Structure 1
């Protein structure tokens, strides 16, 4: 297994089972689809392109979808309405709100499920947004900090960080309650419980893509990863929720 591959497969031959991870941060085809080289400032997805990735998902007995953070680079998002060769022309690109773009991808995902999955035998899940902890003032600490050196969870049951876009959560709920209600999808809402865990990120304890500078080493919070999570940890709880919904629906 390699973290650098777009499609990673773990096979358990004795059980005739595989667990697969597929990198498609927007579900639709995008200019960030390379599993390693995807640090692009102006991200863009191609309209109607979900089968570009979806062809690799067919035949799954259980499929868990997730897409969120990559959409949230601003208030607007670029949609390519034609082939990639036309991406440099203004006529081929439409700017829409992030919520509209997200809703388009979510509806395309549901339509792909309708067209490609046997819903009598396949279980379909969608996991809600995973929050970050980049701003210490969100939980009442002095500005300028983040998850670095945090060792306790947030105790306020009503806490909601500034990075969590409720508008995106509303898009999901409105579609699932509306024109997507015919798809038997199980929604795994991990957002609120994850909001409390400012202490659960990898912080500086991870492989760095580049060697930290002397200035960064002198101030570790400048390169602390407050997006991804430690293993094991919070994601064990996510897995328990998935297990309970899978076997005790």
Structure 2
């Protein structure tokens, strides 16, 4: 009787099975609805998207010591991923109420006079108030105190040309007001090749090393070089690189000096730059750039332990030297521009896509060998910012002549960037990658 009491017919079994399916389905919908509603109420959805490993290593490298101790993973995917957020695809939004500028010129005692545009006579300041807004997500806005705590005991090193120095100036101006105690900037290298911002109480060092073409070149003296001629020793890098090895984070950039059509290769090993009877070869800039990056890549692979040092390469930036690029008059430049371009497909003529493809290929080859150099792809976002350059509003090494004063377009600096301004955005993006605990909010 007992067995008969608990037995079920075939119709009852089917009914129970179908009911279970329905309950399971409705439960799943309820769960999804719960998470969706809660996330909408919170506005920001924290996505657990897998990201490129910032500390990928080769198999023979000890990975037991991470660069920055944090168990969480940065929820930013590289720009090549199609199923995740691209921080570098977006638009400029004017924002004079919430966040920008991040500092004021007079609040940063270390600011290079070449970049202090308001101090040297610029009247408009709207260029300081533009926020970069990615299309489908957002990145963490700068929090100086939080960054300083994470940087304690670390050395950040910017290596490259004057655009990288521009970014270094931005970084120390962003950080310095959040660091108590003794702070100073010193020149540590021969003839001004190495500058160091030191925060002694926090043991923080944010350094800049002048190596405009990464390899040895006739531009290795920061103050004594010619703008119209580029000569490199394409296989020689150790003279520079010996200053890089003990950094916790290295940010490379070399773009401005490759904009000339040709570069001269010096083939006389060990000879002085400019010495007589040298054996040279003149090649196009993309070919020379590829050779320089091959030398740089070999050094990185042989000398950098990715479990101890994070590596980044900044994208190439625009130089708005020809107003005809955006429909302006012939012989005019970025001088007098006060608004960004709103054409986000704009591409100024001096930014060579071949150079960018060579860089991307070099970084891909390094990654295949176990060394991840993360590209901070700021190239497109700088294209629109014709309004943000120093032009004539900068510290002068010598006064303008009367003829130059009549032709301000001819003497305008349209390559570098006013501070505060666009490079602060680069550093916000860079810091989002340096500190992998930062989450990305999807719109």
User: TM-score band (shorter)?
Assistant: over 0.9
1:201 aligns with 2:389: yes
Q: Secondary structure at 1:22's aligned position in 2? A: strand
The separation in 1 between residues aligned to 2:230 and 2:271, in whole angstroms, is: 13
Specify every segment of 5 or more residues in structure 2 that has no aligned partner in the other structure, as ranges.
Answer: 1-184, 438-443
CA deviations 1:116-153 (Å, max 9, x no partner) are: 22211110000111210011110112222111110000
Cα distance in 1 for partners of 2:379, 2:222 equals 25
Give the 3-state SS of the residue equivalent to 1:14 in structure 2.
coil
Deviations along 1:45-102, one digit per CA (max 9) or x if unpaired, are 113211110011110000001101112221x211112222485335x21222211110
* Distance in 1 separating the partners of 2:242 and 2:414: 33
**Is 2:289 aligned against 1:108?**
no
Matching of residue 94 in structure 1 with residue 281 in structure 2: yes
Note if 1:175 corresponds to 2:369.
no
Q: Which has the larger radius of gyration?
A: 2
Find the aligned partners of 2:415 and 2:288 in 1 and give their Cα distance.
22
Query: What is the 5 A alignment of 1:120-135?
Result: 120-135=307-322
C-alpha separation in 2, matches of 1:211 and 1:137: 28
Match of 1:141 in 2: 328
Q: What is the correspondence of 1:144-223 to structure 2 with a 5 Å cutoff? A: 144-178=331-365, 181-182=368-369, 183-223=371-411
Q: 1: distance between equivalents of 2:380 and 2:227?
A: 29
Matched, 1:56 2:243: yes
- Give the aligned CA root-mean-square deviation in angstroms: 1.8
What's the CA shift for 1:199? 0.2
Render the CA deviation track for 1:149-198: whole Å, top value 9, x for unaligned: 10000100100000111110011122223465322110011111001000
* Corresponding position of 2:110: none
Compute the TM-score of the two structures, normalised by the length of structure 1: 0.93
Q: Structure with the greater relative contact order (CA < 8 A, sep ≥ 6): 1 or 2?
A: 2
- Count of equivalent residues: 247
CA contact (8 A) 1:110 1:180 kept: no
Aligned residues of 2:301 and 2:366 also touching (Cα < 8 A): no
User: How far apart, in 1, do the equivalents of 2:352 and 2:225 lie?
Assistant: 23
Gaps of 5+ in 1: none
Which residue of 2 is the match for residue 77 of structure 1? Answer: 263
Describe the shift of the 1:165–1:239 C-alpha distance in structure 2 as closer, same or farther (beyond 3 A): same
Which residue number corresponds to residue 20 of structure 1? 207
- Secondary structure class of the residue paired with 1:64: strand
What secondary structure, in the 3-state scheme, does the structure 1 residue paired with 2:390 have? strand
